[in-house]
Structure 1
Amino acid sequence: MTEAIERESMEYDVVIVGGGPSGLSAAIRLKQLDPDLSVVLLEKGSEIGAHILSGAVLDPAGLDALIPDWKEKGAPVTVEVKDDNFLVLGEAGSLRIPNWPMPGFMHNHGNYIVSMANVCRWLAEQAEALGVEIFPGMSASQLVYGPNGEVKGVVAGEFGRDGETGEPGPGYEPGMELLGKYVFLSEGVRGSLSKEVIAKYDLSAGKEPQKFGIGMKEIWEIDPAKHKLGSVTHTMGWPLGNKTGGGSFIYHIENNQVYVGFVVHLNYENPYLYPYMEFQRFKHHPVVAELLKGGKRVAYGARAITEGGWQSLPKLVAPGVALLGCSAGMVNVPRIKGNHNAMLSGKAAAEAAYEALKAGRESDELTAYETSVRSGPIAKDLKPVRNMKPLWSKFGLALGVPLGGLDMWTNNLFGLSLFGTLGHGKNDAQATGEAKNFKPIDYPKPDGVLSFDRLTNVAFSFTNHEESQPCHLKLKDKSIPIAVNLPKYAEPAQRYCPAGVYEVIGEGADARFQINFQNCVHCKTCDIKDPSQNINWTTPQGGDGPNYPNM
């Protein structure tokens, strides 16, 4: 990328990258503390909410802390959980796990089924009313560094690079430098700028590797006779079996709709495993098929999920910059919740920046933010469940989940863990086994009624990319997919991508690797799971990607 480009610049007190719950919460809190602070928020989606995909059952703790009168202000948080079910599925049947053996924090009563896309749209309205400048359709593609190596801002709004050469084309727009005394990265999972900051400042030194899952979700309109507003069901087991972690969620929302989702932990070994097809197969389980029978799918999307938890949290600050929410990885895996922690992190970062600016400091490390996360409500949420993921990964569903549950109970009752703090070992790319040690999996063909092929479903994500731009999925070495990944791992990119971006065309000496970047739903799975770590996800032009309506 050419560096000698002259750009105009604008200066702010705080620049926020990402219009998710953490970034919007930070923007709101900054303006609550000092209405005169200049705050700008950049969102790469075509509008706020366009790239937000989450389950979601929302713990309102973050909203309560940020906007205590959110109900009176009309937040789209209205469907309270009324019915909370946990099932272990076999191929033809299911076993319900009673709620009483679970620690209190695992129960969903008092929580709400929401569209986080719509919650973010509402938060954006609150932020703009306070004077926050919000620019949707603006991809932050580069960091701007100061003379001492501190983060000073970002480049945003660059358009018109030539798809073949990568150089500025005839309609090139260089974008602007948006400079801040502090920069908050709230890009969500595996953000490209966050990844650069973590590497540059070695923020993961001494930490466990971050772990991830791939979450896929459909919205269905179902028979009103089967609809139970406020009902929540989570499942484990079939079709994944004992060794592969993951599970499903089914949430009944307004308008006779249900959210149907499926998560596969990305530390699976078998390179022939096909997460998307596991999701499609899941819907044919009798329990799910009966619910969906006579209904129709109206939306689809996919997103990676951080799963490393407490021991994988990197250092959250470096000179001039802070990592918020899932840019750092604040999901509580057994609760399947992270939005409340994202909001709390945004609030904490804003308070730290406010105090620093009031004291006349800028571009230093916001150590008060780090302290707040490590000792406050986020720590209280993540620490007691820190061993569930490693125990599940090591011992499987049948033994690992009960051991994790026991450990959560001892933490809940006595503040002590039976296991201390367990490590994760390999990262998810390293966990991929060689194809010679596994057999291909024969997945049933989608029937077009309950299950669908990937490309048909991607159309329901309303994804679009300007085709003349450079491909935003960068191969570090273009030979690796065919020369290494195909013979060694049966090139798993063909399967782990939930949008059909990657294909191997032809066989033998004629085989070639094709990237259909127009299909990309920005889930980042390729950046995480590629066994050669050869794919680097970067941001495309602003406004491109999925356009999720109510995810």
Structure 2
Amino acid sequence: MFFLHGHSLNWKKVGKFNGNGIGFSRVRSFCRESDRESINYDVVIVGAGPAGLSAAIRLKQLCHEKDVDLSVCVVEKGAEVGAHILSGNVFEPRALDELLPLWKQEGAPIDVPVSSDKFWLLTKDRAISLPCPFDNKGNYVISLSQLVRWLGEKAEELGVEIYPGFAASEILYDDEKVIGIATNDMGIAKDGSRRDNFQCGVELKGRITLLGEGCRGSLSEKIMKKYNLREKVQGQHQTYALGIKEVWEIDSSKHEPGHVLHTLGWPLDNKTYGGSFLYHMKDRQVSLGLVVALNYHNPFLNPYEEFQKLKHHPAIKPLLEGATVLQYGARTLNEGGFQSIPYPVFPGGAIIGCSAGFVNVPKIKGTHTAMKSGMLAAEAAFSVLHEGLNMETYWNNLKKSWIWEELYRARNYRPAFEHGLFPGLALSALEHYILKGRFPLTLKHGKPDHKATDEARLHSPIQYPKLDGVVSFDVPTSLYRSNTNHEHDQPAHLRLRDPNVPEIVNLPKYAGPESRYCPARVYEYVADDKGQLKLQINAQNCLHCKACDIKDPKQNIEWTVPEGGGGPGYSIM
């Protein structure tokens, strides 16, 4: 681990800071480049998730095979590896078999094989069993945060340097080429002044930079816009869903290790795509979650409340009675699939994993494809640094890989549900069972998620049931279980491009949807001393799920990284 050292700087504060935590008027000077510590590597990887760590491991494997010495570092904004990793995960080991064939003997935390599969259509009072479209034979129920910790250990054993607790906030360029990243300055107060613990950010410069930040990565989004990476392949916009999850410890008499359940339907309406999952892990633990597509129309819909409602279904609630919630969290996921993959190569590097969007929606899996994309990018980077080739190899090999084949076959599943639940079920069944991915057309996604939100006048407010504190809980209780923590005295990392939009657009036109789509109550409308509702941003609550960055109707909210080490602290998610 390296340590950042403070420097004597000429520091000044300019402008005003809005005291409610929004931070739109804050202007401050940053450390000069000459004041930053700079460390050079052959490859810099942003994000210690499945893609980033697989890339790091594969690079070091190639170095050992070819007797080449390349330096590789991974920078991770979570306080430790795995702290920001959440996934309702039935794990397909295909990529891991390729990367680390001896993973079973080497103690990977993958030890609960899928024992049974069920698929239900829920109505308010019933669970109707449907033919299960999933083939989970040979797959495992796991905690992805635990698997990522293990991958981090394997990477370090091979000589990879991993730096948790440092947030990559800036791309470094030399003309038009990316030459690395800079972490943000630490120890800046809300008012823009330096605190006593101030430290300049550090520059991590690489001959190749790989971005594996996960879904809606902030640097990845900037890179895609700067180099027009979607337009290069005429890709469609990405579409997303919000996954909300709890891990429970249940009674041993109700526990069935390896049992997997997926549902569609209630509590969501027939026009909103989504569904729930319930996976029996080890140690009497079950993962329970609800995934809600963020192209929903009704601005009064509240995904968090829908999840609380789900737990009261007569087919779900008995499992949770007498049980204990161990952890809570939320994260967005990509659902665009094949149509939404951008050109993943930019001058000086590449985008990997869920930052590019390789989730197979009908499989409800993306870890194996994220890992494989990291491995392919690593092989391309090695060919650049050792053999003088270029990163185009990554794109070419991606299109020849099983990722491409798998996502192509699944490409029409998600857009089929643009027409509603039952037409979607019919179209997806035809595609899955009869055509087997060979439909001659590629369906398009509808509006981008933020444009899909209707005006409030077209809907009635949704009255959600009262929370009972037994199986359904208020947001503060759930937040406590996420181990979320941010330094309170720091500039808000959630920024408004125009501070007037919430009050003059979002509130009157859409009834303030940010107060509902956020699963952590970051956004609240509170009355000022004149009785006027104003948006308050409680950035310290942020789970880093990115829903606000995606769903805000006017794309007025910009999610940026807070100080490194902040955010949730997941251990079994």
User: Structure 1-normalised TM-score?
Assistant: 0.96
- Structure 2: how far apart are the matches of 1:157 and 1:312? 30
CA contact (8 A) 1:454 1:500 kept: yes
Instruction: Tell me, yes or no, if the aligned pair for 1:408 and 1:417 is still in contact at 8 Å.
Output: no
Determine which of 264, 269, 274 is the counterpart of 1:241.
269
Alignment of 1:12-91 (within 5 A): 12-35=41-64, 36-91=69-124
In the alignment, which residue of structure 2 is the partner of 1:546? 568
Instruction: Say if 2:126 is the partner of 1:97.
Output: no
3-state secondary structure, aligned to 2:137: coil
CA contact (8 A) 2:38 2:204 kept: yes
Determine whether 1:319 maps to 2:347. Answer: yes
SS in 1 for 2:229: coil
- Corresponding residue for residue 469 of structure 1: 490
Deviations 1:341-380 (A, max 9, x none): 010001000000111111246xxx6111111222211111
Q: Deviations over 1:68-92 (max 9, x none)?
A: 1111111101100001000000100
The 3-state SS of whatever aligns with 1:527 is helix
Sequence identity of aligned pairs in percent? 50
1:296 paired to 2:316: no
**CA–CA distance in structure 1, aligned partners of residues 458 and 382 of structure 2:** 55
In the alignment, the residues of structure 1 paired with residue 358 and residue 550 of structure 2 have an alpha-carbon distance, to the nearest angstrom, of 17
Offset, 1:17: 0.4
Name which of structure 1's ranges 483-492 and 375-384 shifts more when overlaid on structure 2: 375-384
Q: Deviations over 1:392-426 (max 9, x none)?
A: 12x211111220121133453xx6215x1111131
SS in structure 2 of the partner of residue 484 of structure 1: helix
Of 286, 307, 314, 1:258 maps to 286
Deviation sequence 1:159-203 (CA, Å, 0-9, x none): 0123123x5444321121100010000000111101110111011
Question: Is the aligned partner of 1:183 residue 2:183?
Answer: no
Residues 390 and 423 of structure 1 are in contact (CA less than 8 Å); yes or no, is this contact kept in structure 2? Answer: yes
Q: Secondary structure of 1:84's partner? A: strand
Structure 2: any 5+ residue segments left out of the alignment? 1-27
Aligned residue for 2:433?
409
Q: Does 1:499 align with 2:520?
A: yes
Q: Please name the residue that 1:444 is paired with.
A: 465
Paired position in structure 1 for 2:543? 521
- Letter paired with 2:403: I
Equivalent residue number for residue 7 of structure 2: none
CA distance in 2: counterparts of 1:230 and 1:544, whole angstroms: 33
Give the whole-Å Cα distance in 1 for the aligned partners of 2:367 and 2:332.
Answer: 14
- What does residue 396 of structure 1 align with? 420
Q: What is the DSSP-based 3-state SS (H/G/I as helix, E as strand, rest coil) of the residue aligned with 1:258?
A: strand
The structure 1 residue matched to 2:360, chosen from 332, 338, 341, is 332
Pick closer, same or farther for the CA change 1:27–1:411 going to 2, 3 Å.
farther
**Tell me, what secondary structure is at the counterpart of 1:398?**
helix
Where 1:452 maps in the other structure, the secondary structure is coil
* Contact map agreement 1:410 1:417 (CA 8 A) in 2: no
Equivalent position SS for 1:539: coil
Q: Which residue of 2 aligns with 1:151?
A: 178
How far 1:297 sits from its partner (Å)? 0.9
Is residue 503–residue 534 contact of structure 2 (8 Å, CA) maintained in 1?
A: yes
Question: Does 2:190 align with 1:163?
Answer: yes
Residue 380 of structure 1 aligns with which residue?
405
Residue 510 of structure 2 is aligned with which of 482, 485, 489? Answer: 489
Tell me the distance in 2 between the aligned counterparts of 1:77 and 1:334: 23
Q: Distance in 2 between matches of 1:200 and 1:410?
A: 42
Please tell me whether the aligned partners of residues 44 and 208 of structure 2 are also in contact (alpha carbons under 8 angstroms): yes
Tell me which residue corresponds to 1:285.
313
1:208 maps to 2:229: no
CA RMSD of the aligned region, Å?
Answer: 1.3
Residue number in structure 1 paired with 2:23: none
What secondary structure, in the 3-state scheme, does the structure 2 residue paired with 1:381 have? helix
Q: Secondary structure at the match of 2:104?
A: coil
Quick one: distance in 2 between partners of 1:134 and 1:158?
Answer: 19
SS at match of 2:286: strand
Q: Take 2:208 and 2:435, find their aligned partners in 1: how far apart are those partners?
A: 36
Please list every run of 5 or more consecutive structure 1 residues that lacks an aligned counterpart in the other structure.
Answer: none
Residue by residue over 1:240-271, the C-alpha shift from the partner in whole angstroms, topping out at 9 and shown as x without a partner, is 02110000000001111100010000000000
1:341 aligns with 2:374: no
Give the aligned partner of residue 107 of structure 1.
135
Which residue identity does 2:185 align to in structure 1? E
TM-score by length of 2: 0.92
Alignment check: 8 A CA contact 1:384 1:411 kept: no
Query: Does the 8 A contact of 2:170 with 2:184 survive in 1?
Result: no
Query: Which residue matches 1:512?
Result: 534
How far off its partner does 1:157 sit?
A: 5.4
Q: State how far apart, in whole Å, the 1-side matches of 2:397 and 2:425 are.
A: 30
SS of the equivalent of 1:110 reads: coil
